[in-house]
């Protein structure tokens, strides 16, 4: 059971699981039969799930008669179920390191960072430094870094509170090359890793732009 789903009561978990295998959605009648409750009770539960954004109306199937309304999970509803992305990505990177070594893994992660940035370009033309940093922080946050823009020594920088490769980065620090390559490609500017969680920092802090002053280097 996923942690997100675990936060909800057993009745709601049971409801959501009924939608997961139903690729074409469920009708009210189907839910009545499976859950052994009345039409009114089904509609009340459906309304609550729709309001939360977990369930939506889907296209009814052609039946030759009056079409029956069907309901299925939204993308948000599906995300309540477990996703072992962290475990799988860590295992994959460990395997790449074993096969290609430090240099090969570093080159792979740099290219991966550039590729991901190319698929998610930031608006970099005619924007000031603060706007660029805020846009970069938001994009990193969407990738799971728990990132925010922050003022440091009078300058806007990006602070990330979650190292998405933390377990692997402790063994192979070169995985940080993904972060740096991604941010450089996304912004078109040099990226300076000023503070690093893996190296004992409280956050991962990044400076966007020219070389930092000598007193503020990583």
Give the dihedral of Cα atoms 154, 155, 161, 164; nearest 10 deg. -160
> Residues 193, 204: contact at Cβ < 8 Å?
yes
pLDDT at 82: 65
Query: How far is residue 12's CA from residue 18's CA, in Å, rounded to a whole number?
Result: 10
When pLDDT is cut at 50, 70 and 90, the band that residue 208 belongs to is very high
Query: How far is residue 128's CA from residue 187's CA, in Å, rounded to a whole number?
Result: 12
Question: Counting Cβ atoms within 10 Å, is residue 106 exposed (0-12), middle (13-18) or buried (19+)?
Answer: buried
Q: Give pLDDT tens digits for 148-187.
A: 999 998 999 999 998 877 777 777 788 889 999 999 999 9
pLDDT at 195: 93
Q: Give pLDDT tens digits for 18-64.
A: 887 777 888 899 889 888 889 999 999 899 889 989 999 988 766 66
- CA angle centred on 150, ends 148 and 153, rounded to 5°: 160
> Residues 137, 147: contact at Cβ < 8 Å?
yes
Mean model confidence pLDDT for the chain: 83
When pLDDT is cut at 50, 70 and 90, the band that residue 117 belongs to is very high
pLDDT at 159: 95
């Amino acid at each position: 059971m996923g942690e997100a789903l675990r936060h909800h009561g057993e009745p709601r978990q049971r409801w959501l699981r009924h939608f997961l295998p139903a690729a074409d959605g469920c009708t009210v009648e189907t839910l009545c039969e499976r859950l052994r409750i009345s039409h009114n009770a089904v509609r009340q539960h459906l309304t609550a799930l729709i309001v939360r954004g977990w369930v939506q109306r889907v296209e009814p199937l052609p039946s030759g008669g009056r079409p029956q309304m069907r309901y299925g999970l939204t993308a948000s509803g599906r995300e309540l179920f477990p996703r072992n992305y962290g475990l799988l990505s860590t295992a994959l990177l460990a395997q790449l390191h074993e096969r290609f070594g430090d240099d090969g893994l570093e080159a792979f992660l740099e290219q991966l960072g550039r590729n991901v940035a190319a698929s998610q370009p930031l608006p970099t033309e005619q924007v000031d430094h603060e706007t660029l940093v805020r846009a970069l922080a938001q994009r990193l946050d969407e990738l799971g870094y728990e990132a925010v823009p922050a003022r440091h020594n009078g300058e806007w920088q990006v602070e990330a509170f979650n190292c998405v490769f933390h377990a692997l980065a402790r063994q192979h620090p070169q995985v940080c090359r993904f972060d740096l390559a991604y941010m450089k490609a996304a912004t078109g500017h040099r990226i300076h890793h000023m503070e690093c969680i893996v190296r004992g920092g409280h956050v991962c802090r990044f400076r966007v732009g020219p070389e930092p002053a000598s007193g503020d280097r990583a």
